[in-house]
Chain A
């Protein structure tokens, strides 16, 4: 689960990290008011779950309340990588002396938590990682003991910080690591972490994402969810226990199992079609789940044909077939449907589907070819 910059900053502030506190507003008048309250130069920053805000014109400086109003007016409503800006954060302008990067993330190959820092702050860290990997300092935290103080100090020394700045940096690194672990984050990042002209540390821009599987033990995190930033269909699916990801194509997919669902999309693509979605209906593929899946898939106006691919394991194919016909009795589906049913009692299942007037085939490739034909040319 992703949150906005201002929410990430709130979390980090709770852990004692100095953040640039501002005011969140949803209209130009609010921005003017906020600028007046803060006084002096302010920055107006788009609050969207997307990177590249600066390049897209989503961050502007304003030297007066009037400028703040017009800057907010220009930013609100902007489309940044498919995210429409509906609120902006107004923060005090700061005197930046040096910019750094500091982040905590899971290192999958090492199965450990990784703390990263770079003297190249305020730029796209993935670009630095790709082009100048030697500019990133990496420290792995011990899985049982966590990040140790000497490790955090070591990073500060490696960044070439003057000795009077080492402890300040190490303290922020330790707090960021603590926030990552305690809040079950999947990413905790400060970019840039700055030294002001007065020599103070300040987290100028914060970013956090959280582990969906751990939200149950963090009420505060779930409360930060912004439904406007999430696809309504994906949210609806999640509530029903269905994994759904919206894509751009015209062929709706309903599959049991995540791996098989991906392989089904690949087969559609290979045979000349474009999948409209990823959908894992779950192992059982019950009538209720399949009916919900039909609703989700047909809510997309681009869908011109539907491919159902079920490998019956423990769940028998004839039961799955019954579920599909039952679901079709409850939900109106006008797009042509191709069902691929394999595994336990698949033949009986296919016979049942054929009786109900559905196209039922044995192999995935055959099903993909048929559904692509049914959808017609793009």
Chain B
């Protein structure tokens, strides 16, 4: 078991003929991910890494039975790609694209929710169920199958933590990058709920960062609803207020969104909070044997 993606995933790639799309399609196919279709308007008839390309998502879904989509489309076209995927009946849409205007995501988020679909991202590395499906841009080889569920707002920082877990023999059930934008389709709380319900996940790592209050919401959810051990790390303990730290959503504003506030909330909820990523494996071992 795992969450969201596995060997039964039938993946469609939107923007498959672009530079990012074609490169990562090759990487995902190589990993063994079941990639069944690609979409580029005007690209029908081509193949990328052996994957057939269609003009529209609806056509691709009809022909291949795709049930999950990953979006590598430039920011100004990405909201349209999200609408197209959901409208074609795709239940799980992963948007890798960085730089989508916030005002485009406000209606997109509401619409995806209303249609009962799930969006992961935007501005995220995607997700991976090791050994089954890599749906994203992460390096596959640092992962290993195992009992740890991981959820993070970051990209390379997630790889850092995954790598440290794999090296000490703690494989992952699924690792989910939810994205660094102010509006993201799937929150910590959503993923924590999925991990809590997943029999293959024995413990959870959550990696947050400054900005917003999603980590505080997660802390409340963990306190009330999560029985599995959780370890956390919050990036940006040394970040100044009022400055955007790379990610559009990583900003302390009006005194809200500090690392200290998030770390305190998690600690109060019984989460083992690491001061550096390297402390995560030991804290996890301790929490799992407690």
Contact = CB atoms under 8 A, between A and B. Distances in A.
> Do A and B belong to a common assembly?
yes
Contacts of B22: none
Contacts of B275: 266, 270
Given A259-B153, A270-B276, A213 B236 contact: no
A259 B102 contact: no
A37 B275 CA distance: 60
A322 B159 CA distance: 22
Nearest to B142: A343
Contacts, number: 171
B182 A108 contact: yes
26 contacts: A106-B102, A106-B183, A109-B212, A111-B106, A126-B254, A181-B103, A212-B248, A213-B75, A213-B100, A214-B104, A216-B76, A217-B101, A243-B245, A245-B240, A256-B156, A257-B154, A259-B155, A259-B209, A263-B235, A263-B277, A265-B238, A266-B237, A278-B246, A311-B156, A314-B23, A314-B139
A250 to B, nearest CB: 13
Contacts of B238: 247, 262, 265-266, 268-269, 275
Interface in A23-79: none
Interface in A160-209: 181, 184, 186
B120 interface: no
For the complex of A and B, the 6 pairs showing the least CB-CB separation, nearest first, are: A259-B154, A258-B246, A257-B156, A259-B157, A214-B101, A143-B110
B127 to A, nearest CB: 15
B213 interface: yes
A183 B12 CA distance: 34
Contacts of A126: 254-255
B254 A186 contact: no
B88 to A, nearest CB: 20
Contacts of A232: none
A186 B102 contact: yes
A363 interface: yes
Contacts of A265: 236, 238-239
Given A258-B245, A364-B276, A112 B106 contact: yes
A260 interface: yes
Contacts of B75: 213
A135 to B, nearest CB: 16
Contacts of A278: 239, 243, 245-246
B204 to A, nearest CB: 18
Interface in A230-284: 243, 245, 247, 255-263, 265-270, 275, 278, 280, 283
Interface in B67-118: 75-76, 99-107, 109-111
B129 interface: no
Interface in B248-269: 248-250, 254-255, 259
B220 to A, nearest CB: 12
A155 B45 CA distance: 56
A315 to B, nearest CB: 9
B137 interface: yes
Nearest to B27: A314
A305 interface: no
A53 to B, nearest CB: 16
A41 B212 CA distance: 43
Interface in A83-112: 106, 108-109, 111-112
A359 interface: no
A24 B159 CA distance: 51
A283 B138 CA distance: 11
B103 A311 contact: no
Nearest to A265: B238
Contacts of A261: 245-246
Given A111-B183, A263-B277, A311 B160 contact: yes
Contacts of B250: 258, 262
B163 A343 contact: yes
A258 B154 contact: yes
B160 A364 contact: yes
B110 A144 contact: yes
A247 B183 CA distance: 27
Contact of B159 (A216, A280, A343): A343
A344 B259 CA distance: 30
Contacts of A108: 182-183, 212-214, 249
B240 A259 contact: no
B233 A263 contact: yes
